[in-house]
């Protein structure tokens, strides 16, 4: 992620960042203009969903983009047949059906 220095408007680069919550991350940025040298912190926040997750976390409630065809999406989720697939990047406990009850809540 890149930002412009709020003082001199030169490019600023992230030096380190830490996850604060599931929805926020804090980064430390340094201005690339050595005559300025401003170092500053930035909080990045997840704002809204553009495309829904296939493996949503029930504790995350984000606004859904207005371009989403909600009624059609809901209809398809309720009526499309299952296709066998074995996830390779997530534990099986996180890959339940969208509306299935989580056996390991919290
Ligand atoms: Zn600067």
Q: Which fold has domain 2-45?
A: N-terminal domain of TfIIb (2.20.25)
pLDDT at 1: 80
Domain boundaries, the chain: 2-45, 49-99
pLDDT at 87: 87
Residue 9 to residue 3: CA distance in whole angstroms: 9
Q: Specify the pTM.
A: 0.71
Q: In sequence order, what E strands does the chain have?
A: 2-4, 11-19, 24-31, 39-45
Residue 26 CA, ligand 1 centroid: distance in Å = 19
pLDDT digits 0-9 by tens, 12-35: 999 999 999 999 999 999 999 999
pLDDT at 105: 52
Q: Which residues of the chain have pLDDT under 70?
A: 91-106
pLDDT at 90: 78
Residue 40 CA, ligand 1 centroid: distance in Å = 10
Residue 25 CA, ligand 1 centroid: distance in Å = 22
pLDDT at 43: 97
């Amino acid at each position: 992620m890149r930002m412009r220095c709020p003082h001199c408007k030169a490019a600023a680069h992230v030096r380190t960042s830490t996850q604060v919550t599931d929805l926020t991350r804090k980064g430390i940025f340094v201005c690339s203009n050595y005559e300025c040298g401003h170092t500053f912190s930035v909080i990045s926040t997840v704002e809204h969903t553009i495309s829904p997750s296939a493996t949503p976390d029930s504790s995350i409630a984000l606004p859904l983009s207005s371009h989403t065809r909600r009624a059609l999406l809901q209809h398809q989720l309720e009526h499309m047949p299952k296709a066998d697939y074995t996830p390779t990047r997530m534990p099986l406990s996180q890959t339940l059906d969208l509306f299935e009850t989580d056996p390991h809540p919290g």
